[in-house]
Structures are given as C-alpha cells and as structure tokens.
C-alpha cells in the first residue's frame, strides 16, 4: 500500500563538520523527511555539490529557512542560534539545536516555543547517556558531573584560556584548565562545551551541574565522562570521540543528529 502521508520538510543551517554530513544523510533518505533547503556562510563554495544532490535543496540565507521548512537543524556558530531558532519556533515549528551552549544566553527561546506550540530538540550530540539522565531527572538527581579531556587542538582559542592568559600549546602533561558550573563552562568554552550544557538541561540545570576540563596532550580523542547520582540509579559513562575535520567536534555528533531525525517519523523508536 502506498504511503501518502506528506513528508516533513527539513532545512539545515550551516554546512560545516556536522551540517554537511546531516545534509548528505537526508539526501540519501530518512523515513518521512525531505530536505528542502540549506544555508551556508559562503554559498559559492557549496553551490556545486549542493546542486548535485538528488533532493536539490534551495541554498538560501538563514533568514528564509523558517518559512520554507517544518524542521530547521541548526549546525552553525553559536552566535547565530537566536536568528535561526526564533523565527522557527515563532511559527510553531521545530528547531534542532546543536549549539546548545547558546541556549543559556537565549533561555526565552524556550518560552517562545511554548507560546507558539513550537519545539526545540537537543540531540545527545557528542555526549553519552542523556536517555538515562532524563529518566533519572523524573525522580531526583543528587549530583551530576562532567569531566572532559581534549587534545590541545580541540581547545586552543577558547575565551576562558585567552581571557585568563592560560597557554596550553606545548604542554606535555594533562592540565586542568577549568573547574566550575556548566553555565560558566559554556561562557568560557562556547565552541567546546555544548555537551556540558546538554547534560545540565537534561538533568539538574547549568548552575548545579559541575564541570572539569582538561587539556590533555596524551589523548587523541575528545573524551567525556559523566557521573550522576540519583534516587533511582548511580551511573558513570565515558565516550571517546574521534574528532571530525573540525578538531573541536566529534564525528559522532553528526551521526547523533541523523539518528535523532530518523526517530522523528520512524515506525520503531528505540530509547527514551
């Protein structure tokens, strides 16, 4: 029997490490979804390969995405989150947000979504275990902690390092460069610590979630360990992410977005 249900229209904002893989997966086909538009900072750089996609999405400025699509996937620099997400949720549509850290400076976006029947979806991204954290949060979480270790290349240039004159180039031993709340981690490492904010939003919030960050010349992978203690379970989990062509971003991040999109309309849905 033919399936005549309309496909949900998806757009992708930002064609970097994450966006490019998500676009290619959508073009190959995800149940119930169709790719209709993409946005890039330098459209001319991307016109060639985008035109060759089967789905032939429009290449448009981010301001046009909310009109064209039902779901907009934000894979752009964190400074653009507001301009991408606000017009989407204002129309009662869905925004998938990767630059999660920026949600802390734009908390009213959630209220905006609520007022208009829109939705903001944060995929597990580079992290592990948000299914268990959201489940534990239905009960009471006593504590949640993230310990992140990254190679130097995944951290250089972070505002916390620049602002405090912390030099990590050339270190030969692991160096703890930050200890504090997820909120402060997001301010000091806006392009590196989205995972801390995702953990905090799943669990006990950005002020109670504790974060340690290590610049570690002995690791080649972006490594995140979460430790949660709650009235239903105690758990610790670790993920060692192979960096993508963007050393700050683990390869699994794009795969997590693709898995999240597959779940939206899948006939069988596994996990919380």
Ligand X SMILES: O=C([O-])CC(=O)C(=O)O
Ligand Y SMILES: NC(=O)C1=CN([C@@H]2O[C@H](COP(=O)(O)OP(=O)(O)OC[C@H]3O[C@@H](n4cnc5c(N)ncnc54)[C@H](O)[C@@H]3O)[C@@H](O)[C@H]2O)C=CC1
Residues belonging to the binding site are 126, 194
Q: Which option in ligand X, ligand Y, none does residue 193 bind, with CB closer than 5 to 8 A by kind?
A: ligand X
How far the first Cα of the chain sits from its last, in Å, is 30
In this complex, which beta carbon is closest to ligand X, that of residue 114 or of residue 176? 176
182 binds ligand Y (CB under 6 A): no
Of the listed 116, 142, 160, 224, which one is catalytic? 224
> Contact 119/70 with Cβ under 8 angstroms?
no
- Tokens matching residue 44: 């001319």
* Distance of alpha carbon 97 from alpha carbon 3, whole angstroms: 29
76 binds ligand Y (CB under 6 A): yes
In this complex, which beta carbon is closest to ligand Y, that of residue 136 or of residue 186? 186
* Helices first, then strands: H and E counts in the chain: 10, 11
Query: Pick from 110, 38, 81, 107: which is nearest to 191 by CA?
Result: 81
In this complex, which beta carbon is closest to ligand Y, that of residue 6 or of residue 252? 252
Q: In the complex, what is the shortest distance from the CB of residue 96 to ligand X, in angstroms, rounded to a whole number?
A: 15
Name the one range near ligand Y by CB under 6 A: 97-105, 174-182, 225-233, 260-268. Answer: 97-105
224 is known as an active-site residue: yes
Q: Which option in ligand Y, ligand X, none does residue 40 bind, with CB closer than 5 to 8 A by kind?
A: ligand Y
* Distance of alpha carbon 265 from alpha carbon 272, whole angstroms: 15
Q: Which residues are annotated as a binding site for NAD(+)?
A: 126, 194
Alpha-carbon distances, residue 271 vs 117, 131, 196 (angstroms): 24, 7, 21
Q: Which residues contact 213 (CB under 8 A, 6 or more apart)?
A: 148, 149, 150, 155, 176, 177, 178, 179, 185, 189, 192, 193
Name the one range near ligand Y by CB under 6 A: 104-112, 125-133, 155-163, 166-174. Answer: 125-133
In this complex, which beta carbon is closest to ligand X, that of residue 37 or of residue 195? 195
Q: Which option in ligand Y, ligand X, none does residue 222 bind, with CB closer than 5 to 8 A by kind?
A: ligand X
> Contact 69/46 with Cβ under 8 angstroms?
no
95 binds ligand Y (CB under 6 A): no
Find the helix or strand (DSSP H, E) in which 252 lies.
Answer: helix 252-265
43 binds ligand Y (CB under 6 A): no
Q: Which option in ligand X, ligand Y, none does residue 241 bind, with CB closer than 5 to 8 A by kind?
A: ligand X
> Contact 116/89 with Cβ under 8 angstroms?
yes
106 binds ligand Y (CB under 6 A): no
Which residues of this protein are in contact with ligand Y, per CB under 6 A? 13-19, 39-41, 62, 75-78, 80, 98-100, 125-127, 191, 194-195, 198, 246, 249, 253
Active site residues: 224
């Amino acid at each position: 029997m033919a399936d005549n249900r309309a496909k949900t229209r998806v757009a992708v904002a930002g064609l970097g490490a994450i966006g490019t893989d998500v676009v290619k997966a959508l073009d190959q086909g995800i149940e119930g979804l169709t790719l209709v538009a993409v946005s890039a900072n330098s459209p001319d750089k991307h016109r060639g390969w985008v035109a060759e996609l089967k789905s032939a999405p429009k290449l448009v400025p981010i301001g046009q995405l909310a009109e064209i699509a039902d779901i907009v996937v934000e894979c752009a620099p964190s400074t653009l989150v507001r301009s991408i997400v606000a017009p989407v949720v204002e129309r009662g549509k869905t925004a998938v947000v990767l630059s999660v850290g920026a949600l802390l400076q734009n908390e009213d976006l959630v209220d905006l979504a609520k007022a208009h029947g829109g939705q903001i979806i944060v995929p597990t991204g580079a992290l592990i275990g948000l299914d268990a954290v959201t489940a534990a949060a239905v009960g009471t979480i006593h504590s949640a902690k993230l310990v992140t270790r990254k190679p130097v290349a995944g951290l250089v240039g972070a505002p916390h390092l620049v602002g405090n004159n912390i030099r990590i180039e050339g270190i030969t031993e692991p160096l703890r460069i930050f200890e504090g709340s997820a909120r402060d981690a997001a301010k000091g490492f806006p392009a590196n610590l989205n995972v801390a904010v995702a953990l905090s939003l799943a669990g006990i919030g950005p002020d109670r979630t504790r974060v340690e960050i290590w610049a570690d010349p002995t690791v080649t992978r972006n490594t995140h360990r979460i430790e949660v203690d709650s009235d239903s379970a105690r758990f610790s989990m670790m993920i060692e992410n192979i960096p993508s062509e963007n050393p700050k971003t683990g390869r699994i991040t794009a795969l997590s977005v693709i898995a999240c999109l597959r779940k939206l309309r899948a006939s069988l849905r596994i996990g919380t």
